[in-house]
Chain A
Amino acid sequence: MQRRDRERPGFSLVFWRELAWLRRRPLLLMLTVVIPLGLMLLLTAILSAGLATRLPIAVLDLDGSELSRSVIRAVDATPDTAAVLHVAELSEGRHLIVARKIRGLLMLPRNLERDVFAGRRPEVVFFYNTQTFTVGNLVLRGANAAIPTVAAGIRISLRTAEGQPVEEAQAAITPIPLQTHALFNSTLNYVHFLLAALLPAVLQTLVVTTMAYAVGLDVETRHRFAVLRRLGRGLVPAMFGKMLPYTILFLSMLGIADAVLFRFLELPLRGDPALLVFAGVLFVLACQFIGALLALLLRQAAVAVSIATLLTAPAFGFMGIGFPRLGMNQFAYGYGELLPGTWYLMARIDQTIRGTPLDLSWKPILVLVGFVIALISISTLRVWKMRGSSEGGAP
C-alpha cells in the first residue's frame, strides 16, 4: 500500500485506488463478485436439467380396450409425457390440470376400438394448458408424436387386412413423409438455448447498475471529481483507470459462467473462440460505459442507479430469446437494437451453437464496436465539459 501511495499520479494510480476501494467496500465486492456468481449459480441450478421430460399427464379411458391401452402406452413412451394416473371423470382431470398436478389429460372415448375398426372415426381428445406456455407445448408435442403413430399402425393393419403387402401399406399411408432437422440445437436443450442467454442478460443489468454506482460516487461532488482528476493526472487516464478493474472483474464473471457452460453443460463451441472473447470484451465495455454515462449525466449515484435499473432490468424480453424480435412491435424492436446484450447474444449464438462462417459473423460484432466507440466518445466529451464547469465554479 505504501509503495502505491508514492506512485506518480496517472492511469495506474487510479487503477490501484479502485482495487483498494473494492477491497474496502463490501458492497462493491458484492456487486462485482458475490451477486453475479450467486445469481448465475441460481439460474444454472434452475435450468440445469436442460430438458423437461416425462411431464405428468392423466388418462380418462372410457373404453378400456386393447387399443385404448396401446394409445396410453404410446403416450407414456414418449420422452415428453408420462401417463401417471387414471381419472374417472373429465371434471376431475380439469381440476388436476388447474392445480398443476398434471399437465394434460388424454380422453379416450367409449367404444373407441369398436368404432375405429367400424370406420366411424372416433376422436381422441387431449386437453392441455397453454397458459403455461413451455409446458403446454411440450406435452402437446408428446401427445402429437404418440397418437398418430398408433393411428398409423391401425391404418397399416386395415390395409394388410385387405391383402396389401406391409411395405406397400407403410408407403401408402404417408405419401409425403416430413423429415425435420433441428439445426444448431438438435436436442432442443434449454441450457443451450435459454441459460446460455440468461447469464449474460443478468450480467448486463449488473454491469450497468454497478458502474452507475461506482462512477456516481466519484462525480457526485465536485471535490471528488477534482480528486479523481488529480490522481489520474488528466481526465482520460483517470476514466480508464477507474473502469479497467471492473472490466477485468466482470469479464472474469462471464468467463466463469462460460467455463461452466462449456465444460459441464456441454454448450458446443462451433465458431471462433477468439471472436467470442472479443465480443464479450466489447459487451462488457459497452455496458460499463452506459452505466458510467448515466452517472456522468445525472451526477447522483442513487438517481443513476434507479435509471440504470429501469432501463436494463426488463431488458431480457427485448433481446428476442424467448419471444423473437421478428414478432415485436416497432418500439420493442428499436429498443432491443439499443441494448448491447441483443448484439452480444447474437454474436454468442453465432460462435457457440451455430458455428456461423466467419464472413457472416461480423455484423453484431461491428455493431458492438460502434457502441463502444460512440459511448466512450460521448463519455469523454461529457467529462471534458464537466471539467470546464467544475473549474469555473470551483472555490
Chain B
Amino acid sequence: MTTVLAVFRNEIGRLFSLRPVVSVVVVAAAVYAVFYPQPYLNEALRKVPIAVVDQDRTQASRELARLVDATPDVAVAQVLPDVPTAQREVYARSVFGILLIPRHFERDLLHGRTSPIALYADASYFLMYQRMNGAVTAVSRTLGTSFEVARLVGLGVDLPVAEAATDPMPFIPVPLFNPQGGYATYILPAALVLILQQTLLIGVGLLGTLPGGAAIAVGTSRRFGDLAYESIATVAGKLLAYLAAEALIVATYLIGLPYLYGIPRLGSVATILAFALPFTLAVGALGLLVAAALRKPLAVQLVFAAIGLPFFFLAGFAWPAEAMPLAVRWVAKLLPSTLAIDGLVDVAQLGASLSDVRGEFLGLWLLVAVYASIAVVIEFNNRRRASTPAPVRGTS
C-alpha cells in the first residue's frame, strides 16, 4: 500500500508540475470549456433567409408570404420577379430557399381547385433545409386547412363536423427529451465527454513519455513476485492519481458546465459521478497504453491532435450506430468515449438510473480491467528487462 501511495504522490506531483501536462489537462480543458461551445450557444437556427417569387401578386399570395415570414424559422429576405434571379441569390448564399407562388394562386384557391406552391430549398446545409421545409409545410397545411374548413362551412356543414372532416386524426409529435430541439443541448453533453477523454488521454500519454515516471526504482528486484507487485502498484498508483486529479475537472465538465450553459439535467449528480468513475479510470488506463505505444511526448500530442473528430462520430451519437458497418461498431466499443457518451447522456439528460445503463457501466469497468491489465503486463516487461543482468539502464 505504501508503494501505491508513493507512486500516487509522485504522479500527482508530476501532473501539476510538468508544464506540457498542466497545459493539456488543466489549461486546455479550461480553454475548451469556453471556446468549444461558442458556435452552438444560440441553440436554434432561426430566420433562415428565403426569397419569394410571387407570380400571382394577389392578396392571398401576399398573405401566404406574410405567414411564412411570421414563422420563427424562416424570414422572407427578398421578393424577386423570377426563379432564375432567385436561384442566383441561392448560389450567392444570400438566401437559402425559394418559395414560388405561381400565377392564379388566388383564383384557383377561390374556385375550389388545388392551388399548388413550390419550395426550392438548399439541401447543401441540412439544418437550413429542415427549417425551411418544416416552416413552409406547416404554413401550407394550416392555410390549406382553413380554406377547406371555410369551404365546407360555406356548403352548410357545421363547424365541428367540418373540422373533423379536415383533420380527422390529428398527429401529435412529442419530443421526450430536448423538446426545443436545441443544438447546444444536443451536442454539448456528448462533446464535453469527448473533450475530457482527449485532454486526459493526451495528459496521461505525456506523463508516461516524459522522464520521471518511475516512482519505484527500476532494475532492483529480480523475483517474479516482487516485479509483479511493483508493476501492479505502479499502475494502480498512477490510475488513482489521475482519478484524484481529474475529480474536479470531471465534475466541472459533467455538472458545472452543462448548468452554466443552461442544458437541462434530469439525472442526479450522484449517478453521474458514479458513472464518471469507470470512465475516468478507463481513459487513464488507455492513456498508459498510449504512452507505451507512442513513447515520445511530441508523438502523443501530434497523433491525438486530429483524432477527436473521428472519435466523436464513432460514438454513435451524431450518426446512428445502426447505420455503421458492424466492424466499425466493434472498434467503437474499444473507446471509453463511446460507452461513456451513451451512458452519461442517458443518465444526465434522459434521467436514466444506473441500472438502466448497466450495460455501458459494466462495459466501462471491463475496459478498465482490460486496459489496466495490459498496462500492468507492459510495466512488468519493462521492469524485467531492466533487471536482467544485461546493460542496466535506470529510467528514473
Q: Quick one: closest B residue to A137, CB to CB?
A: B130
Q: Are A173 and B166 in contact (CB under 8 A)?
A: yes
B297 within 8 A of A: yes
Q: How far is the CA of A318 from the CA of B38 in the complex (A)?
A: 8
Q: How many A-B residue pairs have CB under 8 A?
A: 345
Which A311-358 residues sit within 8 Å CB-CB of chain B?
312-314, 316-318, 320-329, 331-332, 335-336, 346, 349-350, 353-354, 356-357
Q: How far is the CA of A132 from the CA of B42 in the complex (A)?
A: 18
Interface string of A194-219 (1 = CB under 8 A from B): 10001001100110011001000000
Q: Least Cβ distance of A137 to chain B in Å? A: 6
Q: Are B317 and A177 in contact (CB under 8 A)?
A: no
Q: In the complex, what residues of A have CB within 8 A of residue B78's CB?
A: none
Interface string of A110-153 (1 = CB under 8 A from B): 00100011011111111111111111110010011001101100
Quick one: given A121-B164, A128-B175, A202-B306, are A326 and B48 in contact (CB under 8 Å)? Answer: yes
Q: How far is the CA of A243 from the CA of B34 in the complex (A)?
A: 33
Q: Are B309 and A198 in contact (CB under 8 A)?
A: yes
B40 within 8 A of A: yes
User: Of the candidates B28, B45, B171, B176, which one forms a contact with A94 in the assembled complex, judged by CB atoms under 8 Å apart?
Assistant: B176
Q: In the complex, what residues of B have CB within 8 A of residue A43's CB?
A: 309-310, 313
Q: Are A131 and B186 in contact (CB under 8 A)?
A: yes
Q: Are A132 and B186 in contact (CB under 8 A)?
A: yes
Binding site secondary structure of chain A: helix
Number of interface residues of A (CB under 8 A): 120
Q: Are A158 and B165 in contact (CB under 8 A)?
A: yes
A56 within 8 A of B: yes
Q: Looking at the complex, which of B235-243, B269-277, B322-330 is the stretch in contact with chain A? A: B322-330
Q: Interface of A with B (CB < 8 Å)?
A: 27, 30-31, 35, 39, 42-43, 45-49, 51-53, 55-56, 94-95, 97-100, 103, 112, 116-117, 119-137, 140, 143-144, 147-148, 150-151, 154-155, 158-159, 171-186, 188, 190, 193-194, 198, 201-202, 205-206, 209-210, 213, 301-302, 305-306, 308-310, 312-314, 316-318, 320-329, 331-332, 335-336, 346, 349-350, 353-354, 356-357, 360
Task: Give 20 pairs: A residue, B residue, CB < 8 Å, sorted on A.
Answer: A43-B313, A46-B313, A46-B319, A47-B319, A52-B319, A55-B320, A117-B168, A125-B172, A148-B171, A174-B114, A178-B137, A179-B116, A179-B118, A183-B121, A193-B126, A301-B298, A306-B24, A320-B39, A326-B128, A354-B91
Q: Interface of B with A (CB < 8 Å)?
A: 20, 23-24, 28, 31-32, 35-36, 38-42, 44-46, 48-49, 64, 88, 90-93, 109, 112-130, 133, 136-137, 140, 143-144, 147-148, 151, 160-161, 163-179, 181, 183, 185-187, 189, 198, 296-299, 301-310, 313-314, 317-320, 322-325, 327-328, 331, 342, 345-346, 349-352, 356
